[in-house]
Amino acid sequence: MAQAVRIVFLGGLGEIGRNCALMEIEDRILIIDCGIMFPDLEMLGIDLVLPDFTYLYENADKVEACVITHGHEDHVGALSFLLREISFPIYGSAFALGIARNRIEEAGVLDRTELIAVQDNERRKIGPFDVEFIPVTHSVPQGFALGFHTPQGVILHSGDFKLDPHPVDGRLTDLSRIGAIAAESGVRLLLSDSTNAQEIGHTPTESSVGQVLSILFQNNIDKRVIVTCFASHIHRIQQIADAAQATGRKIATLGRSMAKNVALALSLGILNIDPAVLIDIEDVNKYSDSQICVISTGSQGEPMSALSLMASGENKWLKISERDLVILSSHAIPGNEAAVGKVIDGLYRLGAEVIYPPLAQVHVSGHAMQGELETLLAVAKPEFFIPVHGEYRHLVSHSHIAQSMGVAPQNILLAEDGDIVNIDNGGIDFGGEVPAGYFYLDGLIGNVDRGVLRDRKALSQEGVMVVVVTTDPTAGTVIGEPQIMTKGWMYEDAADPVLDEIRQEIISTLSKVGSQVFKDQEIVKNRIRKSVGKFVYQKTKLRPMIVPIVVEA
């Protein structure tokens, strides 16, 4: 009986983001991607969400290495956090490692982290793992699908992919290699990207965006052109730069991540811009409008980003006017629509012409739609299938697609974060769970818990009321009048009479408790919290957070 293989999912199944899975053979662990998730609107004040690494910390001595599929933050962004606790080498494409490297360096752990660049179609032995790096097209250069040659057959992980017939760099998804694996040894298990599993048809080719951009540049020859896109989308940046150069413009980048990624891509030779064309953002005003193209960050309407500051007239380098054309070469990630809408309004108000989808097709997705997912299934012909990288509904839709392509229903596993999946000679099955909750990161402090988030929500909706009561514990009495301070609760003039009544309510409540109670501050606080909460709700139908403070005289 061949050695069993285990897959453990730490993130990415049931959400878009914090992708992280583990493969285990012979008691060794290979980490597959290690990403972050951006917080949703409910997660007030949270900067980032990480996978729960408890299982990895407990099995730190078994970790062999990490392999990364590509350089998006939802696949590499959490490495710097994990590497603070445990060390391991990282295998990936030069570009993906370059992106990961920045954060690892910031975390101060670069000197003890080995970064190993792999080439397209390279096959590497990493401990008991035998990994093949198969090229795929995606919205970042040098993406990989991963072929794991295991004792249980080939396990194929699609990575994030699309089937682009005309990628900007000509590097196609290597369907022929996947077909060859299917023919030689068969694909035992396919794990595949579900992001667009509910979208009918095929994702348009990235090159189509270049054509639209070049027309927009041609039609606005007298205007200054400002384009935003994801800073890691080097092929989009290439197409913007091509359109700019074709219309005789100088190019400046704006935003820290844009400058960094452009420099990285230029140094790797995967971005081609004439050095004579690149200028500093400080120098844009030395040229006429028709001579300038700015490529900027801020496509998600992030509050302090370059584009947001432009829209509110506060950008240091660029003052927006009717002489500008602003192109948002991106789509708003769910949750960011309102922020992006506000930025667009701001730009219009300043007189700019603004182009964004669906006004023109200035963006296409980097993920495969149904037609492409079907093609991959047809080529790989997997025995078993697990949909990955998606919200739960995407995973369900993708499992339906797999079934329609001939995968037996009992051979499809709808796994979620924390699930352990065993693959042995008998087949594939669930084998328990590991901790996989959200790890919230706020500022420099890790793991803000759900209680803190609940408090923040209450504070944001109902405000806070701090009640200070001075007591004499020996006499068992209240001294003087309670003091009350509120924030975010009620308009001051309306609040004053209510506050008077609350003070009386507190005195009356505490006069009724036995004098012994005053010996225990916690009980006094509880009584205040309860009676004030009830009283305030009766009077105002509001539930501010009540913070009692007892001072013993």
Q: Which of 72, 331, 363, 367 is catalytic?
A: 367
CB of 33 to Zn ion, least distance (A): 8
- For this structure, is 389 an active site residue? no
Q: Is residue 419 a contact partner of residue 430, using CB atoms and an 8 Å limit?
A: yes
d(CA 144, CA 282): 38
- For this structure, is 400 an active site residue? no
For the purposes of burial, counting CB atoms within 10 Å of the CB of 449, is it exposed (0-12), middle (13-18) or buried (19 or more)? Answer: exposed
Q: Which DSSP letter does residue 248 get?
A: T
From the list 45-53, 71-79, 112-120, 210-218, the region that binds Zn ion by CB under 5 A is 71-79
Q: State the DSSP H helix or E strand holding residue 464, giving kind and residue range, or none if neither.
A: strand 464-472
Residues near Zn ion (CB under 5 A), total: 3
SS (H, E, C) 524-548: HHHHHHHHHHHHHHHHHCCCCEEEE
Sole binder of Zn ion in the list 73, 160, 164, 505 (CB under 5 A): 160
> Which of helix, strand or coil describes residue 404?
helix
d(CA 238, CA 272): 7
Sole binder of Zn ion in the list 15, 24, 73, 74 (CB under 5 A): 74
Q: Is 153 left (phi over 0), alpha (psi -120 to 50) or beta?
A: left
Sole binder of Zn ion in the list 18, 72, 233, 250 (CB under 5 A): 72
Task: Write the interaction track for Zn ion spanning residues 101-130; mark x where CB under 5 A is met and - where it is not.
Answer: ------------------------------
CB of 149 to Zn ion, least distance (A): 24
From the list 51-59, 115-123, 157-165, 351-359, the region that binds Zn ion by CB under 5 A is 157-165
From the list 72-80, 96-104, 320-328, 501-509, the region that binds Zn ion by CB under 5 A is 72-80
Closest residue by Cα to residue 457 from 45, 37, 48? 45
CB of 333 to Zn ion, least distance (A): 11
From the list 73-81, 303-311, 419-427, 487-495, the region that binds Zn ion by CB under 5 A is 73-81
CB of 372 to Zn ion, least distance (A): 15
Q: Is residue 532 a contact partner of residue 546, using CB atoms and an 8 Å limit?
A: yes
CB of 439 to Zn ion, least distance (A): 18
Q: Tell me if 15 contacts Zn ion by CB under 5 A.
A: no
d(CA 249, CA 225): 9
Task: Please say which residue, 11 or 482, places its beta carbon nearer to Zn ion.
Answer: 11
Q: Which of 33, 174, 193, 324 is catalytic?
A: 193
Closest residue by Cα to residue 186 from 157, 158, 156? 156
Task: Please say which residue, 160 or 419, places its beta carbon nearer to Zn ion.
Answer: 160
Q: Which two tokens stand for residue 382?
A: 């997997």
d(CA 118, CA 132): 10
State the catalytic residues. Answer: 193, 367
Query: Which residues would be at the binding site for Zn ion (CB under 5 A)?
Result: 72, 74, 160
